[in-house]
Amino acid sequence: MRHLSLLFMVVAISIVPVAQTPPKQGPDGKPVHKSPLADYAGTWTSTFEGKTWLTVRLTLQGDRLSGSIQRMRNLQFNDLGEIKSVGEEQFSETVEDAQVNPDGLLLTLKDPDTKETDRYTMKLTGESKAEIKMSAMKMPPGMPKIKPWKLAKAGAASPAAQ
């Protein structure tokens, strides 16, 4: 019993210094705090039938994300809300704002030609995986709810469009 108590005390004492390790410090000696936006930074793509149809490029600049979304303009959906086909014409929107909220990353984008604004919600589902969906998208009556589109971060295996 005495040996068990001694062993417990040795283990407890050896854990204390690890638990008291100060946070990582930057070159200026101040603690480095990781931005909640950092995990979203990078190039993310989605494919449909082996073809990239959606590219999300996000760059962390200080405490802000900038970037763009480039995708096919015409999308067709099946009765389950999954992509059935994608058009050939591409368009690009520029990130106007990016805010982390409980649902993920809310991206506000603007089409530079039409000046129209779209909102997307991007949610991380793994180290190099995410889902993105259009937020507040107006759908015709009877249209099924659109399922989120799966994304893979550049350098990772590309997921299927659904």
- What would the pLDDT profile of 36-85 be if each residue is shown by its tens digit? 899 999 999 999 999 999 999 999 998 899 999 999 988 898 989 899 99
List the domain boundaries for the chain. Answer: 38-137+145-153
Fold of 38-137+145-153: Lipocalin (2.40.128)
Cα–Cα distance measured from residue 107 to residue 115, given in angstroms and rounded to the nearest whole number? 15
Q: Are 81 and 147 in contact (CB under 8 A)?
A: yes
Residue partners of 24: CB distance under 8 A and separation at least 6 = 31, 32
Which amino acid is it at 62? Answer: G
Cα–Cα distance measured from residue 109 to residue 91, given in angstroms and rounded to the nearest whole number? 12
Read out DSSP for 100-127? EETTEEEEEEE-TTT--EEEEEEEE-SS
Q: What is the pTM of this model?
A: 0.73
